[in-house]
Amino acid sequence: MKLLICFGTRPEAIKMAPVCLELTKQNIPFKLCVTAQHREMLDQVLDFFDLIPDYDLNVMQPNQNLNTLSSRILLEMDTILEKEAFKMVLVHGDTTTSSLVALAAFHRHIKVAHVEAGLRTYNKQSPFPEELNRQLTGRISEYHFAPTKQAKTNLLQEGVNTHAVVVTGNTVIDALNITLEKIKHGYNNSFIEKLKRTINFNNNVILVTGHRRESFGEGFENVCNALLELANTKDIEIVYPVHLNPHVQKTVFNRLSGVSNIHLIAPLDYPSFVWLMSQSNLIISDSGGIQEEAPSLNIPVLVTRATTERFEGVKAQCSFLVGTETKKIIATAKQIMGKERTSKLSNPYGNGDAAVKIVDFIKNNLID
Q: Nearest-5° angle of CA 58, CA 274, CA 98? A: 35
DSSP annotation of 269 reads P
Instruction: Residue 225: name the closest of 243, 248, 252 by CA.
Output: 252
- Give, in order, the Cα–Cα distances in Å from 260 to each of 19, 264, 337, 354, 366: 42, 10, 20, 42, 56
Give me the catalytic one of 139, 213, 247, 255.
213
Give me the catalytic one of 12, 22, 76, 94.
94
Instruction: Residue 155: name the closest of 165, 168, 140 by CA.
Output: 165
Q: At what angle do helices 40-48 and 10-25 cross, to 10 degrees?
A: 30
DSSP annotation of 217 reads T
CA distance 183 to 311: 30
DSSP annotation of 345 reads P
Residue type, 162: T
Tell me if residue 211 is catalytic. Answer: yes
CA distance 240 to 304: 14
Tell me if residue 243 is catalytic. Answer: yes
Instruction: Residue 116: name the closest of 229, 13, 42 by CA.
Output: 13
Query: With contact defined as beta carbons under 8 Å apart, do 231 and 259 qualify?
Result: yes
Give me the catalytic one of 12, 22, 130, 214.
130
Dihedral sign from CA coordinates of 24, 167, 341, 325:
positive
Give me the catalytic one of 22, 76, 116, 237.
116
Give me the catalytic one of 243, 263, 305, 310.
243
Tell me if residue 130 is catalytic. Answer: yes
Give me the catalytic one of 211, 229, 247, 360.
211
At 325, give phi and psi (nearest 5°): -85, 115
CA distance 186 to 207: 23
Tell me if residue 193 is catalytic. Answer: no
Residue type, 290: I
Residues with catalytic function: 94, 116, 130, 211, 213, 243
